[in-house]
Amino acid sequence: MREWLNDAIFYEIYPQSFCDTNADGIGDFQGIIRKLNYIKDLGCNAIWLNPCFDSPFVDAGYDIRDYYKAAPRYGTNEDLRQLFAEAHKRGMHVILDLVPGHTSDECKWFQESAKAEKNEYTDRYVWTNSVWEGFDGVDQIMGSIRGGTERDGACAANFFNAQPALNYGFANPDPAKSWQQPMDAAGPLATREAIKDVMRFWLGLGCDGFRVDMAGSLVKCDPDQEGTIRLWQDFRAFLDEEFPEAVMVSEWGQPDRSLRAGFHMDFLLHFGPSHYLDLFREEHPYFAREGKGDCRTFFDLYLHNRELTKGKGGLICIPSGNHDMIRMARTLDPEEMKLAFAFLLSMPGVPFIYYGDEIGEKYVVGLNSVEGGYERTGSRSPMAWDNTPNAGFSSAPKELLYIAQDASVREINAAAEAGDPDSLLNAVKELIAVRRANPALMDAGDFRLVELEDHSYPLVYEREQEGQKVLVVLNPSGQEAVMQTALPETAKLIYAQGGMKGKSTFARNADGRCIVPAASAAFYEI
């Protein structure tokens, strides 16, 4: 287990939209460096940077043209090295986005692979034997590139059509289709090594690890993902040997598989079986004051996964959001979000905060798609820093901004919130400080669900580590709730939010049971 993960709290940065220092309307590395103190002051000590490599940006940079070159619009490799160094100086870590599943169709690897003449890259991608043969019914292949190549064949595409799929082989190749190569064929093995080289390159320059894009889908025709699991075990062995401090977090959403595959952490996500959306985003999210939500299924699955992964060192991460999800502020208001953060920052695992969520930045409604964002575009608009033009994000003319900002940035911005003791930003800061000050709340602390009925409030759980026990009581609903669990006489309130603010403890009903105020959070040391 990498030591530095023990007290890590990540901040996800979408580089396009964080801070622009050269007035071209798009964020850059120097902008991130300029804002490192803000992130540190918030209490985050690690950063996940979305793809920042040379790309035609058909999919916001998840279509890499050159794995070894920083995208010029953000700066140079040297700027990136400086960013790593500046972060390290502040005791922070930076992980990059590794996109191992596909490249851009403008990548040299693909262009070589598309040549009729056999060469080093011929088997680097998944190709059929004839342009007339497609991928209908082949698992994990979303589209294809057909026609326009000298090579006779169709190339599998992983996400959008401009993202040809790299070849890691097929777990169960169809014997009638000779192009479905086994995982240990020369082409798939060479692809692995090529990606390891990319990892070596950036780790050598000072990055601390990777968030891995679509980690669960690299090996094709792999219904139980056992092939993909074996593949990542090999990557993990490579890291353990050459970069023992480096970490990998997977975009997989199935910790029972990803942690076995060797990932140090896995996200619960808006897709997959986790029921993550029930918390903050469904029509009736559990954290909404209307009080109609239900997170029982979420916890059933969460506990099941914890059981399966217990003691194995992997962490399950519950993010506030990410660049692919509709922002939490679309469904929850700032007061509701304070309770959502009370949950996120008191759960096990490593918290991930999506830039802007700490101030309740809005989802921008009605935007046209930018760089393959589609409905995700509204969650990717520039960070609101203050109430100067463009909310302090950029001094470019407004029309040049990478994505338009919401009108609310005049009130909802980091500077305004820093000066308001009741702001969401200050609530998040306080919660991070409380997490850090209490070992029970940290990543590896034990977790026990104490109270949660179907469609009911409050949610009560216990955390424990290093001899400290903390009881977390959350009642996001707008109605008072009665806690069935007895609160020990000696319990000490160490954090209070919403309806509990200013109170020294819970009031009792006639049976002596605790009354949990509407819309409140309370952490007790017990």
Query: Given the rule CB under 6 A, which residues bind ligand NOJ?
Result: 59, 62, 99, 159, 213-214, 251, 323-324
Nearer Cβ to ligand NOJ (179/252)? 252
Nearer Cβ to ligand NOJ (249/412)? 249
> Which residues lie closer than 8 Å to 149 by C-beta, 6 or more apart?
114, 131, 155
Nearer Cβ to ligand NOJ (99/483)? 99
> How far apart, in whole angstroms, are the C-alpha atoms of residue 258 and residue 262?
7
Minimum gap (Å) between residue 415 Cβ and ligand NOJ: 29
> How far apart, in whole angstroms, are the C-alpha atoms of residue 521 and residue 140?
42
Nearer Cβ to ligand NOJ (62/461)? 62
> How far apart, in whole angstroms, are the C-alpha atoms of residue 521 and residue 336?
11
Q: Letter for the amino acid at 119?
A: N
Q: What is the CA radius of gyration of the chain?
A: 24
> Which residues lie closer than 8 Å to 467 by C-beta, 6 or more apart?
none
Minimum gap (Å) between residue 382 Cβ and ligand NOJ: 17
> How far apart, in whole angstroms, are the C-alpha atoms of residue 26 and residue 371?
13
Q: Where are the beta strands (DSSP E) in 377-491?
A: 446-451, 459-465, 468-475, 481-483
Nearer Cβ to ligand NOJ (159/299)? 159
Task: List Cα–Cα distances, 326 to 58, 86, 280, 333, in angstroms.
Answer: 20, 31, 10, 14
Minimum gap (Å) between residue 213 Cβ and ligand NOJ: 5
Nearer Cβ to ligand NOJ (201/271)? 271
Tokens of 186: 């020369």
Nearer Cβ to ligand NOJ (224/375)? 375
Nearer Cβ to ligand NOJ (62/238)? 62
Nearer Cβ to ligand NOJ (273/478)? 273
Minimum gap (Å) between residue 377 Cβ and ligand NOJ: 11
Minimum gap (Å) between residue 110 Cβ and ligand NOJ: 15
Minimum gap (Å) between residue 62 Cβ and ligand NOJ: 3
Nearer Cβ to ligand NOJ (48/280)? 48
Contact 447, 461 (CB under 8 A): yes
Among 454, 455, 470, 451, smallest CA distance to 513 is for 451
State CA 122 to chain mean position distance.
33
Q: Which residue is nearest to ligand NOJ (CB)?
A: 62
Among 399, 318, 411, smallest CA distance to 362 is for 411
Among 102, 31, 1, 86, smallest CA distance to 442 is for 1
Nearer Cβ to ligand NOJ (74/461)? 74
Minimum gap (Å) between residue 15 Cβ and ligand NOJ: 13
Nearer Cβ to ligand NOJ (212/483)? 212
Q: Is 152 helix (H, G, I), strand (E, B) or coil?
A: coil
Minimum gap (Å) between residue 2 Cβ and ligand NOJ: 23
Helices (H), 174-225: 186-205
Minimum gap (Å) between residue 101 Cβ and ligand NOJ: 7
Helices (H), 362-406: none
> How far apart, in whole angstroms, are the C-alpha atoms of residue 128 and residue 146?
10
Minimum gap (Å) between residue 163 Cβ and ligand NOJ: 7
Among 216, 211, 237, smallest CA distance to 227 is for 216
Minimum gap (Å) between residue 134 Cβ and ligand NOJ: 20
> How far apart, in whole angstroms, are the C-alpha atoms of residue 288 and residue 357?
16
Minimum gap (Å) between residue 160 Cβ and ligand NOJ: 7
> How far apart, in whole angstroms, are the C-alpha atoms of residue 302 and residue 295?
10
Q: Letter for the amino acid at 174?
A: D
Among 411, 379, 200, 232, smallest CA distance to 314 is for 232
Among 359, 426, 364, 347, smallest CA distance to 386 is for 359
